[in-house]
Structure 1
Amino acid sequence: MVTDPGLAAQSSPPEASEQATPERTPSTWAVLRPLVLRLHFYAGVFIAPFLVIAALTGLVYVFTPQLEQAVYAHELHVPAAATTAPLAEQVAVAQDVRPGERLQAVRPGATPTDTTQVIFAAPDLPESYQRTVFIDPHTAQVRGDLVTYGSGQALPLRAWIDNLHRGLHLGDTGRLYSELAASWLWVVVLGGVVLWIGRRRRNRRARLLLAPEFRPAGRRRVLSWHGAVGLWAALGLLFLSATGLTWSVHAGENVTAVREQLAWETPAVTAELPSAPASDVGIDRVHQAALAAGLDGPVEIKPPEAGSAYTVQQQQRSWPTKQDQVAVDPATGVITETVRWADYPLMAKLSRWGIDAHMGLLFGLVNQLLLAALMLGLLSMIFWGYRMWWLRRPTRGEARTGRPPERGAWRRVPGRIMAPIIVGAAFVAYFLPLLGASLLLFLVVDIVLGQRARRSTGV
C-alpha cells in the first residue's frame, strides 16, 4: 500500500505539527572532525614528499653499521696477537702521520681485533669533522688515515649518508627539510589516529582498529590499510618525530634551552685542576687508572689542556649503556672525579637512549629491524594516502585530482573550543617555528584557493 504524504500530513493532530523538533547539539568531535580531516589532508599532501625523503634516507642509514664494517674492515680490524704496543707509542706513530696537528682524543681498541683510533682536530674541515689515524695495537703500524664525523666516529660512507638524511648535503638550509618533516610527523600521526578511531566507532561493520580489510576493493580497502598500519606504527613514528627534533636547527635550540632550564643536561666530570701539573704520567697510566675504576669496553681518552686533567669516558651506546666518566690528574695518575651512568638524571638517560634508539644503536639488529619496519610502514601509508586522493578524483569534468575535505570547517567550531585551539597552536608554533610558519602558509593558500573558487562560481 502506498501512503499519500499529503493525506498523512492532513490527518496528523494540529498540536503535533505545531510542536518544534528539538535540535540536537553536535558533539565536540563532530564539530572538530572536519577541521582535523582538512588539516590531515593538507599536511599529508604537502608534507609527505619531505617524509618520503626522510624515510628513504633513514632506511639506508639504519644499516650503515654493517656497511661500515664491511667497507672499512682494513682500517677497523686487525688479526689478534699476544702482545700489545704501549698506547703512547701508538699515539706517537699517529702523530708522525699528522705532524703539527692537535691531538683531540684516543680510542684504544676495545678487543684484540680492533684498531686504536687516534683522533686529530681538523679546523680546515666543517664543524664536527676530524681526522683519525688507525693504528694496529699489536705492531704499532698505520692501518689507515680517514676523515671521521661526530661523536660516533662515523667513517666517510656513514658520514655521507648521515648528512644526506640530515640535510641533503645542503648545509643548514638543507636541514630545514628534515626539521619540517619531524615537526609535522607527530601532527599527521595524531590526526590520523583520532580520525581512524572515530571512523571505526561510527561504522559498526568495521570495528577492528588494528586489522585492515581485504574486501571490498577500492578506496575503502585502501583506507583500511592506511589506518590500520598507521595505528600499529603510531608510537614509533611519534618517537622518531620527538627525537628527530632534537637535531633540528630551530626547534633543536628550543629543546636545548628547555633541557638547560630543567637541568636535564648530560653531566660531565670537571677537568680543571687547582694548579697546573708539573709532569705527565702518560696516557698508558691514565688508561690503566680508568680500567681499574671499572671503565671497561670502548673508551675515549682526551688529553689535558693547560692546567686540566685527562678525561676518560666509556663509549658503549648499546644496551646496557655504559657512559661512566673519570678525570685523571696528569701528575699523579690519580682519579680526581668520577661520574657514573647510574648517577645520570633520568631525563639525561632518556635523552641518551632516545638518540641511540633513533640511530638504531640501542638494541643492535632488533633496533635496526624495527626502524626499517617503521620506515617501510610510513612509505606505505604515504602511498595509500595519495592513492585515496587519486580514487576521489571526479570521473567527469576537467579536474584531475581528488577533492579536498569541505572548506570552512573552522567557522562551525564554537569559540569556547576554538580559543584553546588557537592558544595551543601558538604555543606549539613558538617551540616549533617551521611548523608554525608552514601552517600559516597552508592557511594563506587555503584562503586564496577559496577566493578563486568563489569567483569562478560567482558565489
Structure 2
Amino acid sequence: MIRAVHRWPGIAAALLLVVLALSGAALSLYPAAERLSAPQAEAGLSVADLAARIAASHPGLEQVRRAPSGQVTAYWFDGGTPRAAVIDPATGQDAGSADPDPLRRWLTNLHRSLFLGDAGRIAAALGAGAMLVLALSGAALVARRTGGWRRWFARLRGPLAGRLHVEIARVAVAGLMLSSATALWMTASTFDLLPDGARTPAFPAETSGRTGADLAGASALRMPVAAFRSLSLADPNDPADVHTLKTAQGTGYLDQGSGELLDWADLSAWQQVSETVFMLHTGQGAAVLGLVLGLMALGVPAMAGTGVVLWLSARRARPRIRGNVPPGRAETVLLVGSEGGSTWGFAATLHAALTDAGQRVHAAPMAGFDPARYPEAARFIILAATYGEGCAPASAKGFLDRLSRLERAPKAPLAVLGFGDRSFPAFCAYAEEVAAAAGDKGWPQFLDFATIDRQSPQEFARWGRALGAALGTELELIHQPVVPASEALTLFSRRDYGAEVQAPTVILRLAAPRVPAWQRLTGRGFARWQAGDLLGVLPEGSPVPRFYSLASGSRDGFVEIVVRKQPGGLCSGQLAELQPGGTVQAFLRRNPGFRPGRGRAPLILVGAGTGIGPLAGFIRANARRRPVHLFFGMRHADSDFLYREELAAWQGAGRLSHLVTANSRGEHPHHVQDALRREAAEVARLIRAGARVMVCGGRGMAAGVRAALDEILAPAGLTPALLKAEGRYVEDVY
C-alpha cells in the first residue's frame, strides 16, 4: 500500500515537481546573493539616524524598507515621479537600482503560479501536496528497506538506480517535507483559507497637530536597524496623518510632529507562525537554510529520473498478462515470486489455461499480498522461485512478514509450487518456507507442495494435471519457456587445466560487448557488473540458461568465467569446446548477496575448483589492499592450480595477503577444510577482528568448511550460523 501511495503521485506529477523544484532551487540563490551584495548597516546604527540620513538626501521620501537580507530600499517622489533605490546605510545615498531582476521575477511567477494566475497557484499547491505525500511515503519505504529508523543511513545493495534513488531521498527528504508543507501553508494563506489573526493598532484619534519633526530626534525610532522592517512617512501637509513603523515585534503609529509613539500592537502568535513559514520556504532571513533547501530540491529531478527507471524496470520484469481480471472479482489468485522474470512466464501459461477453463483469474506479485483485496477468492496459488541461499526473490519481498502479521489465514485454500535448480543446495528453499509458514498459520492447502526443476515444461505439465484433478477440470499446461534477452559475447582467450586429473577446466575470457548510452545511464545489460555476479549462458538447443559466477568486473574490461566440463553437460560441454573467435549468447544477472562489501575488515576467501573464479575477481579488484586471506583447494598443483601466476602477482602487489592451498591428490592429500583447521588460530583471530568469510564451490566442500569453522570458532562461542546472521558469512554454492 505504501509503495502504491508513493508510486502514483510521483508518476502523475513528475514533470510538475521537476519544474517547481528547479525554479525553487534557482530562487534559493537570491537571498544569499542579496545578503552578500547589499550594503549593511554599521553596528549601533538606529532607525532614527538611518531615516534621517535618507530623508536628508531624498526630498519627498515616502517609505524606507529593510529586507531580511539587510538590504535597505528607499521610495520617494521626484517632481511627481516615483523613484526607488537601494541605499547605503552609512551615507543614506543611493547604492544601486531597486528595479526587480527580470529573471527573478520570471522564476517567481513560474514557481508560484506557472504563469497561470490562480489556476496555476492551485496546480502548484497540488504539486506541493504530491511532494509531501511522496516525502512521507518515501521516508517510510527507506526505513523499511534499511531495517528501521535507527538504521536510516545503513549501507544499501541492489541496482544503481535503486541505490541512487534511496541515497538522495534519505538526505533530501527532510528538506522536501519542509518545503512542501510550507508551500501548502502559504497557498492556503493566499486564498484566505487560514484565519487572519492579524493585530493592528487603532489609528490615532488625536495627534499633536504639528508636522516636520526631525526624524533623528524621534524617540520611538531609537531602536537597532536589525529589528526594523519598514517606515512609512506621514503626509507633511496633513497634521492628522502619522508615521507607520513596522518591526519584527509588531506595528506602531508615530506622531509626525513630536516623534512620540501613539499606539502599538504586537504581532499575534498566528502572524509569527506565518512569518516563520514564509522565512522557511523562501530563505529570506535565513540564507544558509535557503541554500540547503535549494540543494535538497535539486534531488527531485534526480529522484524523478531514477524513479522512472525503477518503474520501467519493474514493468519489464512483470510481463503483461492478458485477461487479468481485477482483484476484487477474481476467484483464482496467482501470487508470483520471481527474480529474473521466468516464473512470470509460467504464471502467464497457468493464467491462460485457467481462464480458458472458465475461471476468473488475477495474477499479482507476492510482495503485494493482502487477502482483503480478494473478497471473492475461492483459491490461492503461489508460484515462487528461490533467490540465492533460500532468500525471497524480488517480487516476493516482504510476503512472509505480511503473512505473519495476519490475525488469521485466508479461508480460501492454497497451493504452493516452487521453482529452482536441483544442482543448488537451496533448491526451492524459499517456496518450502512459504508452504511451511502457511501451514503454521492454519492456511488450508488443497494441493500438496510441489517443485519444478530447471524450468522443466514436462514437470509443469504433470503438476498442471494434478491441479486440474483437484479443481475437477481437465488442465493441460503447455509451456514454452521465454528465452531471456541476451547478447553475443566473443571469446578472445582461454586457458586449459585439469586434463591430467580427469577434471578438464577452462578459464574463458570474453570481450565485453559495446554498451548503448541508455544502458550506461540505467545500469542495465552489460553496463556495470562486479565479480560474483552471474553470467547466464544460453546453450545451443535449449532456452534454459546455465549460470556461472563472474571472475571479473566491468572495470576490468572483459567478461571472465571458469568452467569445468561436466559429464553429459550440455552447456559446460559447449563452453569447453569454444575456441577464440567463437561466440556464446549470454546475459547478466546481479548477485548482490555475494559481494565482499566495503571497509577494511579482513576477508577470508575459501574456494575449491572452479569456485576460485569470483574469489579471484575479488582479489583482482582489491586496489585498496584490504587484508585478504585465500584458502584454495585443487586436485593437484601441477594440473589444476587455477590463476597460479595471477595469485603470485597479486600477492606481490599487496592485493592478496596470505595464500594457503590444499591438494586432494599427491603425497599428502588434504582438502581446503583441512587447511582451515591447520590455520585455526589465525582464522579465529581474523574472525574475532571482524573478518568476513566468503565460500564458493561445491556443496560437499561448503559443508566441510562449515564443519571445520564450527570446530575452530567453538571456543569463542561463535558459529557460521551466527556469522551469517551478522552478514559476515556468505556462500555461493552449486
Give the TM bin, normalised by the shorter chain. Answer: 0.5 to 0.7
Please, which of 245, 263, 269 is the counterpart of residue 337 of structure 1? 263
- Work out the CA distance in 1 between the residues paired with 2:242 and 2:41: 34
Letter in 2 for 1:412: R
Say which SS state the counterpart of residue 368 (structure 1) adopts.
Answer: helix
Mapped pair 1:352 → 2:275:
yes
Deviation at 1:182, TM superposition (A): 0.9
Say which SS state the counterpart of residue 338 (structure 1) adopts.
Answer: strand
TM-score after normalising by structure 1: 0.56
Please, which of 210, 221, 227 is the counterpart of residue 279 of structure 1? 210
Gaps of 5+ in 1: 1-32, 96-102, 122-129, 149-154, 315-321, 415-459
> Which structure exhibits the higher relative contact order, with contacts defined as CA atoms closer than 8 Å and separated by 6 or more residues?
1
Q: Write the deviation string for residues 271-317 of structure 1: whole angstroms up to 9, x where unpaired.
A: x111365322346257x423325565544111236644312123xxx
- Work out the CA distance in 2 between the residues paired with 1:352 and 1:339: 16
- Work out the CA distance in 2 between the residues paired with 1:293 and 1:141: 21
Aligned to 2:245: 312
Mapped pair 1:328 → 2:254:
yes
Structure 1 or 2: larger strand share?
Answer: 2
Say which SS state the counterpart of residue 221 (structure 2) adopts.
Answer: helix
Aligned to 2:85: 133
Contact 2:204 2:263 (8 Å CA) reproduced: no
Contact 1:131 1:147 (8 Å CA) reproduced: no
Q: CA distance change for structure 1 residues 292 and 243 in 2, over 3 Å: closer, same or farther?
A: same
Please, which of 412, 415, 437 is the counterpart of residue 373 of structure 2? 412
- Work out the CA distance in 2 between the residues paired with 1:180 and 1:238: 14
Please, which of 376, 381, 398 is the counterpart of residue 298 of structure 2? 376
- Work out the CA distance in 2 between the residues paired with 1:295 and 1:339: 19
Letter in 2 for 1:303: L
- Work out the CA distance in 1 between the residues paired with 2:374 and 2:259: 69
- Work out the CA distance in 2 between the residues paired with 1:116 and 1:197: 46
Aligned to 1:234: 173
Letter in 1 for 2:162: L
Contact 1:90 1:135 (8 Å CA) reproduced: no
Letter in 2 for 1:118: A
Deviation at 1:411, TM superposition (A): 6.7
Q: Write the deviation string for residues 32-54 of structure 1: whole angstroms up to 9, x where unpaired.
A: x2xx4323221110112111111
Q: CA distance change for structure 1 residues 223 and 334 in 2, over 3 Å: closer, same or farther?
A: same
Deviation at 1:156, TM superposition (A): 4.6
Please, which of 153, 162, 169 is the counterpart of residue 108 of structure 2? 162
Aligned to 2:199: 267
Aligned to 1:107: 65
Deviation at 1:385, TM superposition (A): 1.0
Contact 1:209 1:228 (8 Å CA) reproduced: no
Q: Write the deviation string for residues 13-70 of structure 1: whole angstroms up to 9, x where unpaired.
A: xxxxxxxxxxxxxxxxxxxx2xx43232211101121111111111111111344468
Q: Write the deviation string for residues 399-441 of structure 1: whole angstroms up to 9, x where unpaired.
A: 9xx9998899897299xxxxxxxxxxxxxxxxxxxxxxxxxxx
Q: CA distance change for structure 1 residues 395 and 211 in 2, over 3 Å: closer, same or farther?
A: closer
TM-score after normalising by structure 2: 0.37
Aligned length: 321
How many percent of aligned residue pairs carry the same amino acid? Answer: 23
Q: CA distance change for structure 1 residues 164 and 258 in 2, over 3 Å: closer, same or farther?
A: closer
Q: CA distance change for structure 1 residues 79 and 308 in 2, over 3 Å: closer, same or farther?
A: closer
Please, which of 84, 87, 90 is the counterpart of residue 57 of structure 2? 90
Deviation at 1:134, TM superposition (A): 4.0
Aligned to 1:118: 74
Structure 1 or 2: larger helix share?
Answer: 1
- Work out the CA distance in 2 between the residues paired with 1:109 and 1:282: 26
Q: CA distance change for structure 1 residues 376 and 301 in 2, over 3 Å: closer, same or farther?
A: same
Q: CA distance change for structure 1 residues 156 and 304 in 2, over 3 Å: closer, same or farther?
A: farther
**What is the CA RMSD across the aligned residues, in angstroms?**
4.6
- Work out the CA distance in 2 between the residues paired with 1:110 and 1:55: 23
- Work out the CA distance in 2 between the residues paired with 1:393 and 1:297: 57
Mapped pair 1:190 → 2:136:
yes
Gaps of 5+ in 2: 322-340, 345-362, 376-734
Deviation at 1:110, TM superposition (A): 11
- Work out the CA distance in 1 between the residues paired with 2:228 and 2:102: 21
